[in-house]
A and B are shown apart, each in its own frame.
Chain A
Amino acid sequence: MSIDVVLDGLFSGAAYALVALGLAVVFQPTRIMNFAQGEALVLGAAVSYQVVALWKLGWLVALVMVVATSIVLGLLMERLVILPVRLSGSRYAWIIATLAVALVFQSLFTLAYIDVPALRPAPMIGGQVSFLGNHIDWQELLTILAALAVMIAYDLFLRRSAYGQAVRAASHSADTAVLMGIPVQRVVMMSFVIGAVITALAGLFVAPVIFVAPASGLLFTIKGFTAAVIGGVGSPRGALLGGFLVGLLDTVVRSAISGTAGNFAVFAALAVILVVFPSGLFGKPMEAH
């Protein structure tokens, strides 16, 4: 095992962290674990593949397009998830609603890219950078930095801006937030949008390195979900830490022992962490709602 492996783990972790953050952003005001979150990552990868690899328009265009399409995706997801949940009245309607949305988008991506096994454009910055005598792809370094930047930006938004404060208030109690004059429905819609944009950005950054298949959204959701639970559901900082933990554990154990052992290690860690910290590393005990 070398530092290479650690860097590689951090890179995978960055992707998981951004999915976990997207999950946390939606979960905070809605208490909904959006199983369709990974589809936003696939969207990010698909749009950058389309723009960079096929249309050859460059990364700046890709960035703009990814943000624009993921805003639309977020709005769509909000309608597709929240409406049935409201109409159904069942406490568990969100499970079916989000899974259904995931399957719908998975099918759409599969149809759109039927012969494309991996949405893999060329890297934004090619080549590698030396680091303590090891090499890391520029793209991987960029992804790790982007994940950190997005995480810090969102954390600042939550803590410093009036709207961010409102999101936190709405996540504590929607009714009380309404009494403050906070448009909670709009906050929910915005959370879906922000979550989708963040996760789609992850897709944009990781697509040149890893293999994002059109139908792989749920795979990323599960990884992100694990990271979110380890870090503490709903906590952005927890999402970051959880993501890096899952990425590192998986990669390090996989290279030290074997592929199956990697997954085992991750879930074993999940079990241990949940025993010691029932609400995750950064989570707060959840009140009854």
Chain B
Amino acid sequence: MLKRSLRFAAAAAVLVVAAAGCSSKEDRRTPGPSGSAGWSAGTDEVQIGLVAPMTGPFAVLGVSQQNSMQVVVDQINAAGGIGGAKVKIVTRDVGLDPAKAVAAATELAGDQRIKLVVGPSITAFYNAAKATYEQNKKVNCQPAVAGGTFNDLTYGFRSQDRLTDDVERILQYLKSKNITTIGEVYEGDDTGKQVNDLLKSKGPQYGVQLVGYEQTRTDDQTHLPYVQKLASAGAIWISSNVSGAKTMAAAAEAKYKGVLVGGSGVQNISFLEAAGDAAAGTVFAAPNYQFPIRDRATWKAGYKTHTEAIEAKYGVNTGPKTGAKSPKGTAIAADCVYAYWKAADAAKSLDSAKVAAAIADLSLPDTETPSGCAIKPGAEHEFYTLACIRAYMWQKDGQGWFTADVTPAG
């Protein structure tokens, strides 16, 4: 009875504060009757929001994020919760509807029980939501927002490879192979243009010259004309979307002699499904992704634990045609929850400003994190540094598809 009336009072207080136009501080240290043992006594539950497509063509993304986050949540709860409070994930399925994505982000941003929001995915959706997060002082972490910067945000963090790092890693690889020219076959969208700018500006540092940018269309039946125009280039940067697979197929058909390269999207086994054998030899840059490396002994410890937990709990995706496998999780989303946990513990607080500052100050070693990448956000609010972005090459043998880490030494 007492518990109930206390809760009611707390809820009423939240309402009053919210109505007054300022956000409440959840840093109530008053010892409550709930009996939580840790520093967060008084808060029964920490909720983590996920705004993602759970149905529709991009459901794979949302489901993978949810799975990976859940594995870490289980781990936290098993370890006694965050400062004693149990953790729970609240999911909002927004499909690919920008209006729903923004509405869900706004809802979760305004909900004081939610301490961390992951999503919405896709740069454009996030751009529409991030001001609301800042206003509501909502700590948020983005594992699927490739574009833009985070250094101007107080509460937003990115747990994804930056395009600039992908490009640098690939350029480094090309330099090590004495390849001096590169072309680009990509949609004429923001990402395609950004890659174009980066190749142009960073290429010369690695002795690589950009020789052309063929903008593709969604209704292209084949990319043969594009590949033929770039036939003399030593490398071609392909799209991280399905159309990248079209470029792979066209390169095989045209007997292209150079190497195909791309960003972290190319790790998706749907490329193998779509392009078939033509995908072999493609090099992509991505944050630590050791799953297709067969020798598990070489996997980073934290990554191995996380990935094997995903396999045990959710299984693996198997390409129906190629038999290629990928885990039903995405470790960079797990990093969001993991980093929040570690930061809140360090700050001994659930106060958003304090946690946000603590996340920025984190320095977690790559052996410990679910992704296998060191987390060191700093003022940039970027979880990962170039060191963690590796170059991998898709390969195939009698046992199926696998990757080799082809990152040049040094």
Is A255 touching B221 in the complex (CB atoms < 8 A)?
Answer: no
Tell me, in angstroms, the Cα distance from A2 to B220 when the chains sit together. Answer: 19
Tell me, in angstroms, the Cα distance from A143 to B229 when the chains sit together. Answer: 25
User: B222: which of A2, A12, A115, A223 is its contact (CB, 8 Å)?
Assistant: A12
Is A115 touching B274 in the complex (CB atoms < 8 A)?
Answer: no
| Interface residue? A210 (CB, 8 A) | yes
Known: A118-B274, A122-B276, A137-B253. A259 touches B215 (CB 8 A): yes
A residues near B219, Cβ cutoff 8 Å? 219, 222-223, 263
A residues near B216, Cβ cutoff 8 Å? 259
| Interface residue? B284 (CB, 8 A) | no
| Interface residue? B320 (CB, 8 A) | yes
Tell me, in angstroms, the Cα distance from A19 to B330 when the chains sit together. Answer: 40
A residues near B222, Cβ cutoff 8 Å? 8, 12, 209-211
Tell me, in angstroms, the Cα distance from A122 to B192 when the chains sit together. Answer: 30
| Interface residue? B218 (CB, 8 A) | yes
Is A255 touching B59 in the complex (CB atoms < 8 A)?
Answer: no
| Interface residue? B60 (CB, 8 A) | yes
Tell me, in angstroms, the Cα distance from A73 to B314 when the chains sit together. Answer: 36
Is B60 touching A255 in the complex (CB atoms < 8 A)?
Answer: no
Chain B nearest CB from A20 CB (Å) reads 15
Interface residues of A in 3-43 (CB under 8 A from B): 4-5, 8, 12, 15
Please, what's the 1-or-0 string for A115-137, where 1 marks a CB less than 8 Å from any CB in chain B?
11110111000000000000101
| Interface residue? A260 (CB, 8 A) | yes
Is A258 touching B242 in the complex (CB atoms < 8 A)?
Answer: no
| Interface residue? B226 (CB, 8 A) | yes
Main secondary structure of the interface of A (DSSP, over half): helix
Interface residues of A in 245-289 (CB under 8 A from B): 251, 254-255, 258-260, 262-263
Tell me, in angstroms, the Cα distance from A222 to B217 when the chains sit together. Answer: 14
B residues near A69, Cβ cutoff 8 Å? none
| Interface residue? A66 (CB, 8 A) | no
Chain A nearest CB from B192 CB (Å) reads 11
Chain A nearest CB from B225 CB (Å) reads 3
Interface residues of A in 186-239 (CB under 8 A from B): 206, 209-211, 213, 215, 219, 222-223
A residues near B249, Cβ cutoff 8 Å? 120, 209, 211
Known: A53-B321, A259-B217, A263-B217. A118 touches B225 (CB 8 A): no
User: A211: which of B60, B226, B242, B253 is its contact (CB, 8 Å)?
Assistant: B242
Number of residue pairs spanning A and B whose beta carbons lie under 8 angstroms apart? 95
Is A4 touching B228 in the complex (CB atoms < 8 A)?
Answer: yes
Nearest B residue (CB) for A8? B224
| Interface residue? B154 (CB, 8 A) | no
Known: A259-B216, A263-B217. A116 touches B225 (CB 8 A): no
Is B274 touching A114 in the complex (CB atoms < 8 A)?
Answer: no
Is A254 touching B225 in the complex (CB atoms < 8 A)?
Answer: yes
Is A259 touching B214 in the complex (CB atoms < 8 A)?
Answer: yes
B residues near A206, Cβ cutoff 8 Å? 221
Chain A nearest CB from B209 CB (Å) reads 20
User: B270: which of A8, A15, A117, A260 is its contact (CB, 8 Å)?
Assistant: A117
Is B228 touching A2 in the complex (CB atoms < 8 A)?
Answer: yes
User: B245: which of A54, A115, A117, A263 is its contact (CB, 8 Å)?
Assistant: A117
Report the interface size class on chain A: 35 or more
Interface residues of B in 222-256 (CB under 8 A from A): 222, 224-226, 228-229, 242, 245-246, 249, 253-255
Q: Which of B214, B270, B321 has the most CB of A within 10 A?
A: B321
B residues near A137, Cβ cutoff 8 Å? 253
Is A259 touching B221 in the complex (CB atoms < 8 A)?
Answer: no
Tell me, in angstroms, the Cα distance from A213 to B220 when the chains sit together. Answer: 12
Chain B nearest CB from A22 CB (Å) reads 17
A residues near B225, Cβ cutoff 8 Å? 5, 8, 251, 254-255
Is B57 touching A219 in the complex (CB atoms < 8 A)?
Answer: no
User: A116: which of B188, B229, B254, B273 is its contact (CB, 8 Å)?
Assistant: B273
Interface residues of A in 126-171 (CB under 8 A from B): 135, 137
| Interface residue? B123 (CB, 8 A) | no
Tell me, in angstroms, the Cα distance from A4 to B250 when the chains sit together. Answer: 12
Known: A116-B273, A117-B270. A255 touches B246 (CB 8 A): no
A residues near B91, Cβ cutoff 8 Å? none
Tell me, in angstroms, the Cα distance from A206 to B216 when the chains sit together. Answer: 20
Chain B nearest CB from A256 CB (Å) reads 8
Chain B nearest CB from A55 CB (Å) reads 10
Is A213 touching B253 in the complex (CB atoms < 8 A)?
Answer: no
Please, what's the 1-or-0 string for B240-284, where 1 marks a CB less than 8 Å from any CB in chain A?
001001100100011100000000000000100111100000000
Nearest A residue (CB) for B216? A259
A residues near B254, Cβ cutoff 8 Å? 4
Chain B nearest CB from A130 CB (Å) reads 13
Please, what's the 1-or-0 string for B183-221, where 1 marks a CB less than 8 Å from any CB in chain A?
000001000000000000000000000000011111111
Known: A54-B320, A115-B270. A211 touches B217 (CB 8 A): no
Is B59 touching A117 in the complex (CB atoms < 8 A)?
Answer: no
Residues of A within 8 A of B (CB): 2, 4-5, 8, 12, 15, 49, 53-54, 110, 114-118, 120-122, 135, 137, 206, 209-211, 213, 215, 219, 222-223, 251, 254-255, 258-260, 262-263
Given contacts A12-B222, A117-B274, A223-B219, 6 further A-B contacts (CB under 8 A): A115-B317, A120-B273, A121-B321, A211-B222, A260-B217, A262-B217
A-B contact pairs, 5 of them (CB 8 A): A49-B321, A53-B320, A116-B270, A120-B274, A210-B221
